[in-house]
Amino acid sequence: MPDLPYEAYELVEHLRRTVTDDERVLAAIADTPRDRFVAEHLRPYAYEDTALPTEAGQTISQPTIVAMMTAALALAGDERVLDVGTGSGYQAAILARLCREVVSVEVVDSLRRSAADRLQTLGIRNVTVLQAGDVLGAPELAPFDAILVAAAAPSVPDALVAQLAPGGRLVIPVGSREVQELTRVTLQEDGRRTEEHLGACRFVPLIGPGGFESEAP
């Protein structure tokens, strides 16, 4: 691992003790400066194990959840990964260090643009950040070996399972708007799908196709 600020080192060691001993995942988190993905006034808290607010009412996920979701994808290095909900770009930056290519989609245009600029500034070249359209994911670019969704759905969206390659994994929070279960779906080679529940979590709701209806203001 690189020479890290003390706070970043402490966070990685905390994740090693509590979430995963996968050295590739831990190294990817260590190599990704979380303080570059939050507002300047929040940088003193960037390496705490907590979610932080970002732009447009969104959040950057708690590092424990990021590590858990990333490890659950079981990436070997040559995969194409779909990241649904770019947000700040932090999760996409970590995935980029673990796979061949990341396609990341974001519904909020200002978030998409700022995340793309941030990734470019950090020299991350294997992430394409796209504006989310009227369909969930990026079916025109499927299949993907792994899909990660950073927003909660009421059930596992069939539209995303359809974008998996045989043997592919989908990790997504599933449940109500208030509380969800982190779920891993594996598409078996024979077309069957299996589901595993990885623990309780809380994400912002996925709005639109495959997600929740927008609440009236």
Annotation says 88 is catalytic: no
d(CA 97, CA 203): 24
Residue 158: count of CB within 10 angstroms of its CB: 11
Do residues 83 and 148 make contact, with C-beta atoms less than 8 angstroms apart? yes
Phi and psi based region of residue 102 (left: phi greater than 0; alpha: psi -120 to 50; beta: remaining): beta
In the set 61, 88, 104, 114, the catalytic residue is: 61
Burial of 97 (C-beta count, 10 Å sphere; 0-12/13-18/19+): buried
Catalytic residues: 61
